[in-house]
Amino acid sequence: MADTPSHSSALPAVAEPAPRPVATTASGGIVEAPAAPPARRPEATSSSERSLRAQVLSKWNGWASTPLYATIQVVLAAFVGLLGSVYSSELKTSWPLWWGTGGEMAPRVVWLFWAMLVGTGLLFWKAKWLDVREQKAVRELSRDLAAQQKEMAALLTTMPPPQFLEHFKLLYEKAAQAAMLALDDPAPKPDDLRKAIRQVLYHYAQTAEAYDGEAGRQGHTYHANLMRFAPIPKDPQARSDLRKRLSFNGGQDLSELKGSLEGIRSLSISTQQESAADETLAELWLPVPKVARREDLAKPWQVLPGAPRAYCPEDGYHDACLSIESMLQWCDDETELRPEAVRQLKRYFEEGEGKAIRSFVSARLPSPLSEASAEAQESAPAWGVVNLHRSTQGMLKDSLEAVAMFASVSFPFYVLLARLAERLDQIGSSKP
Q: What is the DSSP string of 405-428?
A: HHHHHTHHHHHHHHHHHHHHHHHS
* Lowest mean pLDDT segment, chosen from 113-117, 293-297, 342-346, 417-421: 113-117
- The parent domain of residue 375 ranges over 162-427
**Residue 49, SS3?**
helix
Q: Do residues 288 and 258 make contact, with C-beta atoms less than 8 angstroms apart?
A: yes
Q: Are residues 281 and 361 in the same domain?
A: yes
| CA atoms of 219 and 390, how far apart (whole Å) | 10
- Interval 191-238: pLDDT, tens: 999 999 999 999 999 999 999 987 656 668 999 999 999 999 999 999
Domain end point (choices 119, 137, 156): 156
- Say if residue 21's pLDDT is above 80: no
User: 342: burial class by Cβ within 10 Å (0-12, 13-18, 19+)?
Assistant: middle
**Residue 120, SS3?**
helix
- What angle is formed at CA 67 by the lines to CA 138 and CA 50, rounded to 5 degrees? 65
Q: Are residues 136 and 188 in the same domain?
A: no
- Range 87-124 burial, b when 16+ CB lie within 10 A, else e: beebbeebeeeeeeeeeeebeeebeebbebbeebeebe
- Say if residue 164's pLDDT is above 90: yes
Please report whether residue 73 resides in a domain: yes
AA identity, residue 406: F
**Residue 241, SS3?**
helix
Domain end point (choices 91, 121, 156): 156
AA identity, residue 238: A
The DSSP-derived string for 179-202 is HHHHHT-SS--HHHHHHHHHHHHH
Biggest CA-to-CA distance, the chain: 121
Q: Are residues 222 and 108 in the same domain?
A: no
What's the rounded mean pLDDT across residues 54-67?
75
User: Which phi-psi region, left, alpha or beta, contains residue 319 (left: φ > 0; alpha: ψ -120 to 50)?
Assistant: beta
Q: Are residues 367 and 280 in the same domain?
A: yes
Q: Are residues 340 and 311 in the same domain?
A: yes
Domain end point (choices 91, 123, 156): 156
Q: Are residues 112 and 185 in the same domain?
A: no
Please report whether residue 387 resides in a domain: yes
pLDDT at 318: 92
Q: Are residues 203 and 319 in the same domain?
A: yes
| CA atoms of 411 and 390, how far apart (whole Å) | 20
- Interval 396-406: pLDDT, tens: 999 998 999 99
Q: What sign does the dihedral 388-389-390-393 (CA atoms) show?
A: positive
| CA atoms of 280 and 271, how far apart (whole Å) | 13
| CA atoms of 351 and 265, how far apart (whole Å) | 21
Please report whether residue 23 resides in a domain: no
Q: What CATH number is associated with residue 231? A: 3.30.450.40
pLDDT at 84: 82
Q: Are residues 233 and 324 in the same domain?
A: yes
Q: Are residues 182 and 241 in the same domain?
A: yes
Q: pLDDT grade, residue 20 (50/70/90)?
A: very low
Please report whether residue 2 resides in a domain: no
Q: Are residues 304 and 409 in the same domain?
A: yes
The count of structural domains within the chain is 2
- Interval 241-297: pLDDT, tens: 999 999 999 888 999 999 999 999 999 999 988 889 999 999 999 999 999 999 999
Q: Do residues 172 and 203 make contact, with C-beta atoms less than 8 angstroms apart?
A: yes
Please report whether residue 328 resides in a domain: yes
Q: Choose among 250, 249, 279: nearest CA to 261.
A: 249
What's the rounded mean pLDDT across residues 12-21?
46
Q: Are strands 222-231 and 384-390 parallel, antiparallel or unpaired?
A: antiparallel
Please report whether residue 340 resides in a domain: yes
Q: Which residue has the higher pLDDT, 373 or 80?
A: 80
Q: Which helix (H) or strand (E) segment is 311 a member of?
A: helix 307-311
Q: Are residues 128 and 218 in the same domain?
A: no
Q: What percent of the chain has pLDDT over 70?
A: 81
Please report whether residue 25 resides in a domain: no
- Say if residue 100's pLDDT is above 70: no
DSSP bridge partners of 223: 270, 389
Q: Are residues 115 and 253 in the same domain?
A: no
pLDDT at 9: 41
Please report whether residue 14 resides in a domain: no
Find all residues with CB under 8 Å of 356, minimum gap 6, and list them: 280, 391
AA identity, residue 309: R
